Amino acid sequence: MTAVETASERAQRAARPKLLPARLRAALPRTRLLTTLTAASLFALWWLAAHYAWVNPLFLPSPKAVWDAFVRTATVGYQGSLLHEHLIASLYRVLAGYALACLVGIPLGIVMGLSRDVKAVFDPVIEFYRPLPPLALYTLIVMWLGIGDASKVAILFLAALPPLTISSMHAAASVDPRYVKAAKSLGANSRQLFRHVFLPACMPGICTGMRISLGFTYTVLVAAEIVAATAGLGWMIWDASKFLLGDIVIMGLFVLAFTGMALDFLIRLAERALTPWRFR
Amino acid sequence: MSAGRDAMSMPPPLPVPTHLAPTPGRGRLQLKDISIAYGEGAARRTVVERFDLDVEPGEFVCVLGPSGCGKSTVLNAVAGFVPAARGLLEVDGETIQGPGADRGMVFQQATLFPWKSVLENVAFGPLMSTGSTSTAEQRARTFLSLVGLAAFEKHYPSELSGGMQQRVGIARALANYPRVLLMDEPFGALDAQTRAMMQEALLNIWAEFRTTVLFITHDIEEAIFLGDRVVVMSANPGRIVADIRVDIPRPRTPEVQFSETFLAIKRECFAHIRSETLKAFAHQQNATALS
């Protein structure tokens, strides 16, 4: 607001209609409001469609039925496992595969970025299997490792690896040489140079890779569980669909979506903690 | 960011902490018959040829030359990043064999580490040599006060203006107690007003911390205003064509730029630079015509 405001302008401003009280408008910026409205409209549409039976309830159960399925699965369970047990089974697989991939992929990527020779060795291997659909690869891995957790952790590890390695490699290869020059002229030896310059300079690129990789691993998880499992969210959805249990399927999808969002949120927190200078 | 912000936060004259003063007589820089060439085989090109320069301990020498004359190459050779094809490079009689903490460097872009705070940036050199964070940060605080940025120690470099970043860059280089301070067109990327403020700030800092300075610039007035000596370089290949003593008493204020002495030196430098630039142009045109 300008300092000079005539009386008529002030009156005009006061006369302008306000849709929401000031306090609520401050808490809900325009974009947030639009997002909320979208979610509410979709939910209302769903409720209406179910209520007036526009769609066969077998395929689209009501919000109430889905909520009941949620409560039932959480307390009684589905096919011998409670909901949180399915969730833990899934999370264990995705996090084990992802953590292993981070431990291997990030250092490997950094070394590949620094040495052409190492890159020449590993790059063709990764580039060969990267475009393969994970499920195609999974059939082979199941043949080798069986349908237990080992095969799932293995496929998730393989799915998580390329984005991590490739972005770490690019990050390490594109460290600004001026920083290296500055550090050397300040007396840094090669070990100090790596710790104080290379690692932090690579960190933003590594974080991007970690985020992309986690999202991708999570999508592969569900596919892997559909092929062969006895517990897990993906398996639960797949199994319920065979019995046309639409409520369980939709409930499972919601749990998957919220879990995925929670994982993404956590990785963003980690990004903030690892590269605080980018968030100032 | 604005030059106004810089003007607001210019360092006030500070008392000299006695331990800041370098060991007297340290920091003699000697370049004897230096030649530097780039490239291999037929593409090999001599950038600097038969370059001789003697800098006294505590002397402020400006190297002035048209762009592409190899003045930055000379600086990079002293810094230890570029090997000389022939000749001798020595600091206090010790041959330069690579980059080292005894020669502090200030770049055209401040090249502060974006992932470190202002304090951590200045503490970088001392941390590398002592390995102790507390010692390094204590020393860094002294030098941040020297450049008038003590209040900004927790900021990240991206939160500072260009002029402030460059002051942090100077503090970072000085925190190693270098024998020689190497400055590669440090104010070239700043706007005119900020540059003028920075030149004065640098003289204030240097008045307290009398280290040897080798300052590269293509700005005639900057060279005369700052230096005890102005060394003018030619292009293709880079050689010294004039070595002019600047007999303007210190402390210098911006008004000295209107004095007779200043104008006389400026005229002399201008004549040299102009003829060198014309030669460089003709050389470029010949090269284009041939290819």
Of A12-16, A45-49, B24-28, B38-42, least confident by mean pLDDT is: A12-16
Query: Over the stretch A258-275, which tens digit does the pLDDT of each residue have?
Result: 999 999 999 999 999 999
Question: Strand B229-234 to strand B212-217: parallel, antiparallel, or no bridges (unpaired)?
Answer: unpaired
By CB atoms closer than 10 A (0-12, 13-18, 19+), residue A102 is buried
Please identify, in words, the CATH class of the domain defined by A73-279.
mainly alpha
Helix axes A233-242, A83-114, angle to 10 degrees: 130
State how many domains chain B has: 1
Model confidence at B208, pLDDT cuts 50, 70, 90, reads confident
The b/e string for A259-280 (b: 16+ C-beta within 10 A; e otherwise) is bbeebeeebeeebeeebebeee
Model confidence at B235, pLDDT cuts 50, 70, 90, reads confident
Q: Measure in Å the smallest separation between the Cα of A277 and chain B Cα atoms.
A: 5
Q: Look up the pTM and report it.
A: 0.81
User: Chain A to chain B, count of Cβ pairs less than 8 Å apart?
Assistant: 67
CA distances from B256 to B62, B199, B206, B214, B249 (A): 17, 13, 18, 21, 9
Q: Measure in Å the smallest separation between the Cα of B77 and chain A Cα atoms.
A: 12
Would residue B258 count as lying in a domain? yes
Interface of A with B (CB under 8 A): 176, 178-179, 181-189, 192, 196-197, 200-201, 203, 275, 277, 280
What ipTM was predicted for this assembly? 0.85
CA distances from A241 to A49, A78, A169, A255 (A): 20, 13, 42, 16
SS3 B129: helix
Query: Over the stretch B154-199, which tens digit does the pLDDT of each residue have?
Result: 999 999 999 999 999 999 999 999 999 999 999 988 999 999 999 9
The pLDDT score that the predictor gives to residue B8 is 47
Provide the mean pLDDT of chain B: 87
CA distance B73 to B68: 9
The pLDDT score that the predictor gives to residue B124 is 96
> Are the beta carbons of B111 and A185 separated by less than 8 Å?
no
Query: Over the stretch B220-233, which tens digit does the pLDDT of each residue have?
Result: 999 999 999 999 99
CA distance B131 to B259: 49
CA distance B13 to B5: 18
* Interface mutation target, options B72, B75, B115, B168, chain A, most CBs of A under 10 Å: B115
Q: Indicate whether B113 pLDDT > 90.
A: yes
Task: Calculate mean pLDDT across residues B128-136.
Answer: 93
CA distance B142 to B16: 11
Contacts of B176 in chain A (CB under 8 A): 186-187
The pLDDT score that the predictor gives to residue B155 is 95
> Are the beta carbons of B128 and A186 separated by less than 8 Å?
yes
Q: Measure in Å the smallest separation between the Cα of A161 and chain B Cα atoms.
A: 26
Q: Indicate whether A46 pLDDT > 70.
A: yes
Model confidence at B283, pLDDT cuts 50, 70, 90, reads confident
Q: Measure in Å the smallest separation between the Cα of B129 and chain A Cα atoms.
A: 7
Q: Indicate whether A10 pLDDT > 80.
A: no
A141: number of Cβ within 10 Å: 18
**Nearest-Cα residue of chain A relative to residue B109:** A178
- Comparing CA positions, the residue from B157, B98, B95 lying closest to residue B124 is B157
Residue count of chain B: 291
Secondary structure tally for chain A: helices H, strands E = 13, 0
Query: Over the stretch B2-15, which tens digit does the pLDDT of each residue have?
Result: 444 444 444 444 44
Query: Over the stretch B51-88, which tens digit does the pLDDT of each residue have?
Result: 999 999 999 999 998 877 888 999 999 999 999 989 99
Question: Strand B229-234 to strand B103-106: parallel, antiparallel, or no bridges (unpaired)?
Answer: unpaired
The pLDDT score that the predictor gives to residue A235 is 92
Q: Which two tokens stand for residue A245?
A: 């249990």
Query: Over the stretch A79-130, which tens digit does the pLDDT of each residue have?
Result: 889 999 999 999 999 999 999 999 999 999 999 999 999 999 999 999 998 8
> Are the beta carbons of A185 and B172 separated by less than 8 Å?
no
The pLDDT score that the predictor gives to residue A110 is 94
More confident residue, A190 or B281: A190
Task: Kindly report the CATH number assigned to the domain that includes residue B239.
Answer: 3.40.50.300
> Are the beta carbons of B105 and A185 separated by less than 8 Å?
yes
> Are the beta carbons of B128 and A181 separated by less than 8 Å?
no
- Comparing CA positions, the residue from A92, A138, A90, A133 lying closest to residue A256 is A90
Q: Indicate whether A220 pLDDT > 60.
A: yes
> Are the beta carbons of A185 and B100 separated by less than 8 Å?
yes
Would residue B52 count as lying in a domain? yes
Task: Calculate mean pLDDT across residues A204-211.
Answer: 95
> Are the beta carbons of B109 and A178 separated by less than 8 Å?
yes
Would residue B68 count as lying in a domain? yes
The pLDDT score that the predictor gives to residue A154 is 94
Q: Measure in Å the smallest separation between the Cα of B158 and chain A Cα atoms.
A: 8
CA distance B171 to B28: 21
Contacts of B79 in chain A (CB under 8 A): 185
**Containing domain of residue B265, as a range?**
25-102+212-280
The pLDDT score that the predictor gives to residue B22 is 56
CA distance B246 to A69: 89
Model confidence at A202, pLDDT cuts 50, 70, 90, reads very high
> Are the beta carbons of B113 and A200 separated by less than 8 Å?
yes
The pLDDT score that the predictor gives to residue A58 is 82
CA distance A71 to A61: 15
Q: Indicate whether B21 pLDDT > 70.
A: no
Contacts of A196 in chain B (CB under 8 A): 113, 116, 124, 128
Model confidence at A16, pLDDT cuts 50, 70, 90, reads low
